Structure 1
Amino acid sequence: MHSSKSNTVSYSLLTLAMLLTGANIGFGKAAVAIMPVVLFGLLRYVIAVIAMAPQYFKTGTRLTRGEWINLCVQTFFGTFLFTLCMLYGVQHTTATAAGVITSTLPATVAILSRLILKEQLSGRTMISILLAILGIAVLTLAKTDTGTTTATSSLIGNLFVIAAVICESIYVVFSKRLTGSLSPMRITAYSHLLGLFLMLPFGLTAAWSYDFSTITINMWGIIIWYALAASVFAFWLWLSGSKHVPANVAGIFTAFMPIAAAFVGVVFLHEQLSWAHLVALILVLSGIAIASWPQQFRRQEV
Structure 2
Amino acid sequence: MAYPHPGWRGHLQVALAMAMVGSFVVVGKLLDAALPIGVLSWLRFSVALLVLWPWVYWKKLPQPQGREWGQLALAAFCGVFGFSLCTLYGVRDLPGIEAGILLGTLPACVALVAWGLLKQRPDRRATIAIVLACLATVLLQTPAQSVVGGHALRGSVLIILALLGEGVFAAMGQTLGQRLSPLVVTTWVSTFAWLMFLPLAVWEAPRVVWSQLGLPHLATMLYLGLGITVLCFVLFFHGVRQISSAATGVLTTVLPLSATLLSALILHEPLQLQHAAALGLVVAAVLVVVRPAVTVQPA
TM-score, with normalisation over the residues of structure 2?
A: 0.75
User: What is residue 79 of structure 2 aligned with on the other side?
Assistant: 78
- Kindly report which structure 2 residues correspond to 1:189-268, keeping only aligned pairs within 5 A, or say none: 189-238=187-236, 257-268=255-266
Offset at 1:37? Answer: 1.1
C-alpha contact (below 8 Å) 1:19/1:256 kept by paired residues: yes
User: What is residue 64 of structure 1 aligned with on the other side?
Assistant: 65
CA distance in 1, matches of 2:284, 2:207: 47
CA distance in 2, matches of 1:285, 1:39: 36
C-alpha contact (below 8 Å) 1:14/1:237 kept by paired residues: yes
Offset at 1:103? Answer: 8.0
C-alpha contact (below 8 Å) 2:45/2:193 kept by paired residues: yes
Offset at 1:264? Answer: 1.7
> Secondary structure of the residue that 2:115 maps to in structure 1?
helix
CA gap 1:52/1:300 in 2 versus in 1, 3 angstroms: farther
User: What is residue 119 of structure 1 aligned with on the other side?
Assistant: 120
> For this pair of structures, how many residues does the alignment match?
292
CA gap 1:25/1:191 in 2 versus in 1, 3 angstroms: same
CA distance in 2, matches of 1:7, 1:186: 22
> Residues 127-162 of structure 1: CA distance to partner in whole angstroms, max 9, x if unpaired?
23333443454456x414x4x257999x99998666
Offset at 1:16? Answer: 4.8
Q: Which amino acid aligns with 2:21?
A: T
Offset at 1:24? Answer: 2.9
CA gap 1:152/1:30 in 2 versus in 1, 3 angstroms: farther
- Kindly report which structure 2 residues correspond to 1:1-302, keeping only aligned pairs within 5 A, or say none: 16-55=16-55, 57=57, 59=60, 63-86=64-87, 105-138=106-139, 142-144=142-144, 146=145, 148=146, 163-238=161-236, 257-290=255-288, 292-293=289-290, 295-296=291-292, 298=294
Q: Return the structure number with greater helix share.
A: 1
Moved more, 115-124 or 15-24: 15-24
Moved more, 19-28 or 100-109: 100-109
CA distance in 1, matches of 2:100, 2:222: 21
CA distance in 1, matches of 2:238, 2:70: 27
> Residues 245-282 of structure 1: CA distance to partner in whole angstroms, max 9, x if unpaired?
76588888666544432232012112122344444444
CA distance in 1, matches of 2:280, 2:286: 10
> Residues 70-118 of structure 1: CA distance to partner in whole angstroms, max 9, x if unpaired?
111111112211233455578899xxxx999878654432221122222
Q: Which amino acid aligns with 1:260?
A: S
C-alpha contact (below 8 Å) 1:38/1:203 kept by paired residues: yes
> Secondary structure of the residue that 1:65 maps to in structure 2?
coil
Once superposed, what is the RMSD of the aligned Cα atoms?
Answer: 4.4
CA distance in 2, matches of 1:100, 1:137: 5
CA gap 1:229/1:85 in 2 versus in 1, 3 angstroms: farther
Q: Which amino acid aligns with 2:27?
A: F
CA gap 1:182/1:9 in 2 versus in 1, 3 angstroms: closer
CA distance in 1, matches of 2:150, 2:19: 29
